[in-house]
Amino acid sequence: MHIRKSKLFFFIILFLLVFFGILVVFVYNNYLSDNIRGVKYMINKINPPDGFYDPIVKEKLNFLEKGFSKTLNLNAKYKGLYDFGLEFEKKVLSTKHKFNGKFKLEFLVDAQILSEKTISAFKAWGSYFEDGYDTDYYKWIVLDTFEIPYQGKYLDNIKLRITVLEPDMELGKNQDFINIYIAASSIP
C-alpha cells in the first residue's frame, strides 16, 4: 500500500513538472503569450534577448517651437511595455530642473487617433554614474509608459505623434544634446 502511494505521488509530481515545462515552452515560443499578457515580457526582462533594450526610436526634437509636431513609427521588436522619454548625451540638464513644458502624445493607426494624452511632468529619471555616482544631472527621463500591442490589439502600423504644446526653454537651449527615445521599459 505504501509503495502505491509513493508511485502515485511520483507520477503526480512528474505530470506537473512536464505540464509546467510544456507551458513555459509554449509561452516562450509565443503560442500563448497573446492570451497570457505579460508572461513573455517578464521572461524577456529576466533573460533579455539581444537588442531587447535597444531603442525602437531615437531622434532629435525641436523643444523650442510651440506647435512643432513629429510622427514616429513604432516598429516594436517585442511585445510588452515601452518607455517614451528623453536621453541626454552629456550633462546638460540639472536634476533640480522642474519640467516646464507640455507635450501632447497621440497614438495612431492608419491616421486614426486611438488615444491622446498630455505630458507635463517626469514619470521617472536616472542620473549619471560616470566617475562615481553623480545625481546632479539627468541621464534619462521617462515621460510615459505604454504597452505594445497598443490597447491590447494594435501591433502593426502604430504611430506616435508628439506635439510641443508649451516649450521648455531649458530643454530647448540644450536640444542638440537631447534625444527622444522609445525603448522596452526599464521600469517593471
Q: What is the pLDDT of residue 31?
A: 46
In this prediction the pTM is 0.72
Query: CB atoms < 10 A from the CB of 31, how many?
Result: 13
Local mean pLDDT, 10-residue blocks, the chain (188 residues): 71 84 62 50 72 88 91 85 88 84 91 90 66 71 81 76 93 90 80
Q: What is the pLDDT of residue 184?
A: 84
**Cell digits of residue 129:** 554614474
Contacts of 139 (CB under 8 A, 6+ apart): 87, 88, 125, 126, 127, 128, 129
| Strands lying side by side in the sheet with 69-73 | 69-73, 158-166, 102-109, 112-119
Q: Is the peptide bond between 48 and the residue preceding it cis, with omega within 30 degrees of 0?
A: no
Do 96 and 149 meet the contact criterion of CB atoms below 8 Å apart? Answer: no
Burial of 181 (0-12, 13-18, 19+ CB in 10 A): buried
All domains of the chain, ordered by start, with CATH?
53-184 (2.60.120)
Task: Report the alpha-carbon distance of residue 155 to residue 16 in Å, rounded.
Answer: 34
Task: Report the alpha-carbon distance of residue 172 to residue 63 in Å, rounded.
Answer: 5
Q: What is the pLDDT of residue 103?
A: 92
